Amino acid sequence: MIHLRTDEEIEILRENNHLVSDTLAEVAKLVRPGVTTMEFNAVAERFIRSRGAVPGFLGYGGFPYTLCVSVNEQVVHGFPSEYELREGDVVSVDCGTVMKGFYGDSAYTFAVGRIAPEVERLLRVTKEALYKGVEQARAGNRVGDISAAVQLHAETNGFSVVRELVGHGLGREMHEEPEVPNYGTRGRGPLLKEGMVVCIEPMINMGTKAVVFERDGWTVRTRDRKPSAHYEFAVAIRRGGADVLTDFGRIEEALRRS
């Protein structure tokens, strides 16, 4: 079932997603060589709880942490650990919250110090692909319009699109209908209607699109072990276009100041 949210419900979803953005901004302050990804997790959990919310990922389907932290060739769902970040790494941090009966969900990929120019380009193109998808997230379009826009931008720039993992609806559950793939055909898929809330989240690889699911049951990495990037927005569908509920500006301001 696809839910259409009231304006009041969308404002609660916005509140959650702004909290996720603020949490990722706190993580952004820590991104540097020598910091462990477990430190990210501890800071995020304390911050979320200090705002009167609950970590959305912790215990979800048995996931044991507050954050998904995926380094370099890890695409998504990586475990925080005692791994110390190194100059040139990239690290995707995916975060969720629960507050007032609704979820927030967003992800951002950080560069650790100076990264290789081709990896910097991967991050830039992936974020651009996200915005290309958002441009299509308006009432009257179809999910395939979002999917095709993401795929076209990524592949035109020489990168590949992960097939096994997709965006999704967001509301009282973390993952609701409809699925929002990062590949597809214009004019196909569920109709986008006013009041729908979806997460658009390009997962783009430098090399092959093929991925491997690790034995921990969660971590997904690229088969060729080349880097991957991941960015995620929550958006409400409106007649005039997407109402973006996530605020990357908060994260990027923290990065400028750190």
Q: List, in order, residues 6 or more apart from 128 with CB less than 8 Å away.
A: 153
SS3 sequence of the chain: CCCCCCHHHHHHHHHHHHHHHHHHHHHHCCCCCCCEHHHHHHHHHHHHHHCCCEECCCCHHHCCCCEEEEECCEEECCCCCCCECCCCCEEEEEEEEEECCEEEEEEEEEECCCCCHHHHHHHHHHHHHHHHHHHCCECCCEHHHHHHHHHHHHHHCCCEECCCCCEEECCCCCCEEEEECCCCCCCCCCECCCCCEEEECCEEECCCCCEEECCCCCCEEECCCCCEEECEEEEEEECCEEEECCCHHHHHHHHHHC
pLDDT for 258 equals 87
pLDDT for 181 equals 98
Q: List, in order, residues 6 or more apart from 4 with CB less than 8 Å away.
A: 193, 194, 195, 196
pLDDT for 52 equals 98
pLDDT for 54 equals 98
The CATH number of the structural domain formed by 7-257 is 3.90.230.10
pLDDT for 143 equals 98
Query: Does residue 189 come out as left (phi exceeding 0), alpha (psi in the -120 to 50 range) or beta?
Result: left
Sign for the CA dihedral angle at 258, 252, 130, 115 comes to negative
What distance in Å separates the CA atoms of residue 248 and residue 229, rounded to the nearest whole number?
15
pTM of the model: 0.97
Name the packing angle between helices 248-257 and 7-28 (round to 10°): 20
Give which of 27, 123, 79 is closest to 216, Cα–Cα. Answer: 79
Q: Where are the domains of the chain?
A: 7-257
Mean pLDDT in each 10-residue stretch from start to end of the chain (258 residues)? Answer: 97 98 98 98 98 98 98 98 98 98 98 98 98 98 98 98 98 98 98 98 98 97 98 96 98 96
pLDDT for 37 equals 98
